[in-house]
Structure formats: structure tokens, C-alpha cells
Amino acid sequence: MSRLTPMNDRPEKRLFRKLEGKGYRPEHVVEVGVWMPEMSNIFDYIEAGIRTTLVEPDHASIERIRERFGDYGNVTLHEVAAYDFDGELELSQRDASTFVSELEASPAIVNDGYEVAEEDKFTVRCTTFDTLDDGSIDLISVDTEGSEWYVIKYMTSRPDVVSIETHGAAYVNPNIDNIEKWMADNDYVAWFKDKSDTVYVRPGRIAVTLADKLALAWKDLGIRFRRFRKRQFKSD
């Protein structure tokens, strides 16, 4: 029996599939922190010709994005980091994780015990997200390994769907309190979670059913249990 995950069950397909099930189709999608183009949360929307904005500062990822989507007329790429100021920003890269060097917590630091090394650092241009957001975003996916808050904080748009990396194993986003307060203040609710992301929606645009709420509560229990086990294992 094949151990490969069925295409429609892969994490990068899940958001698209669930929104299709709700009968929702955005007109403008954005991904901040792309890494591998084929693993993008919004890949199917790109392929469907939906207007797409990608934000990625890592040079290796930029080259992969250019190779994959360079001739796509619906894709705009901003080769910059979205952060808390305009200027230059130091990033560190550990395997598949690229994150702001000054962060105290990222998935690589918390889950893998990674300690930032000088040879892993590089500098990129950064800007606040309001310089990239024209107010028309319907769906945004943000995975910047711990600095997601600095995207949400400067959003001009109020998308119908916001997907954010909030957790994973022992890791909890260092700005989760700010993120959750912003969501509550702007009338968003959590719709579903997977092993690393929380997807928030505007209830008037995406219907959140009782079944959705029960599935979210069950998933949340599993995440909390795995986090407890992970931390117990690390402390032993």
C-alpha cells in the first residue's frame, strides 16, 4: 500500500478544498512566506488564474518562484520581507525554516533546539505590509516562522480568510496573544486548524457550522496534548 498522502489530503491542498466545499472563490489571494512554490497554500488558486500576490525575501525561494510562475500573468512577486519597519532585516536559515534572527521563538528554535549561527545569517530588504496591500485581498496565508504578527498588524485589507502559522509540536507563535486580540477586535473567528496553521474567517462571508466548531475543538485538544507530550519529552 502506498504511503504517499493523497493529493487532495495534502496540507497545501486543504485550504483550497475546504473553501471550495463552502462555495467560496476569492478574487485576490496573497501568500507571505512562500518557500517552495509547489507547497504553497494558494497553489490551486494560482493555477486557476486568480490574481495572486507573493511576498518572499529568501533568494533561493525567489529563484524557484521565478522558475515556476515567471510567465504567469496573474502573479506579482515582491522580493522583500514584511516586517515592523522599512529598511534592512537580518534573517537566519535552518533547513526549510527562514526566520527573523532577533526572534526569541520560531519553529526551528523551539522544536529543533536550533541556535542562531553567524554562517546561517543573511540580510534582506524589508518593509511594512501596508506598502504591499492595496486593500483588495480576499484571502491571505502568512507563514514567516514567528513574525506573522508584523504582517497582520499592518494589513490594510480585511480579507475573508486569514491563514496563519500559529503552532506546531512544542512551538506556539510568540505573538499569539496579539494575533488573537486582533482577530477578535476585527470580528474574525477561528474556522479550522491543522498541524501548524489556524485559519480565521469573517462569519458573514464564510459560514462556520456546528460541525466546524466541534472539529476545531477536537483538533485543539489534540494540538494541546501533543504540545504537552513534546515538552515533557524535552524536559526528561
196-206 pLDDT, tens digit per residue, is 999 999 999 99
Where does the pLDDT of residue 98 fall: very low under 50, low under 70, confident under 90, or very high at 90 and above?
confident
Within-domain flag for 97: yes
pLDDT at 235: 59
Q: Which residues contact 161 (CB under 8 A, 6 or more apart)?
A: 15, 19, 24, 26, 138, 139, 140, 191, 199, 200, 201, 205, 206
pTM of the model: 0.90
Quote the CA–CA distance of 138 and 231 in Å, as a whole number: 37
Q: Is the pLDDT of residue 154 over 60?
A: yes
167's enclosing H/E stretch is strand 167-168
Q: State whether the Cα torsion 227-230-235-236 is positive or negative.
A: positive
Quote the CA–CA distance of 97 and 124 in Å, as a whole number: 15
Q: Which residues contact 120 (CB under 8 A, 6 or more apart)?
A: 92, 93, 94
Q: Is the pLDDT of residue 103 over 70?
A: yes
**What is the residue-averaged pLDDT of the chain?**
90
Q: In terms of residue numbers, what domain contains 91?
A: 7-235
pLDDT at 11: 57
Within-domain flag for 1: no
Within-domain flag for 172: yes
The residue-averaged pLDDT of 66-90 equals: 97
Q: CATH no. for residue 205?
A: 3.40.50.150
Tell me which of 2 and 183 has the higher pLDDT: 183
Tell me which of 208 and 171 has the higher pLDDT: 208
Within-domain flag for 2: no
29-39 pLDDT, tens digit per residue, is 999 999 889 98
pLDDT at 228: 78
Pairing, β 28-32 against β 139-142: parallel
Q: Is the pLDDT of residue 2 over 50?
A: no
Q: Please state the domain count of the chain.
A: 1
Within-domain flag for 99: yes
Q: Is the pLDDT of residue 195 over 80?
A: yes
Where does the pLDDT of residue 12 fall: very low under 50, low under 70, confident under 90, or very high at 90 and above?
low
Quote the CA–CA distance of 176 and 8 in Å, as a whole number: 29
Look-up of cell digits 495534502: 10
- 39 neighbors 13 (Cβ within 8 angstroms): no
Tell me which of 225 and 211 has the higher pLDDT: 211
Q: Is the pLDDT of residue 45 over 50?
A: yes
Q: Is the pLDDT of residue 232 over 70?
A: no
Tell me which of 108 and 185 has the higher pLDDT: 185
The residue-averaged pLDDT of 80-92 equals: 96
Q: Is the pLDDT of residue 233 over 60?
A: yes
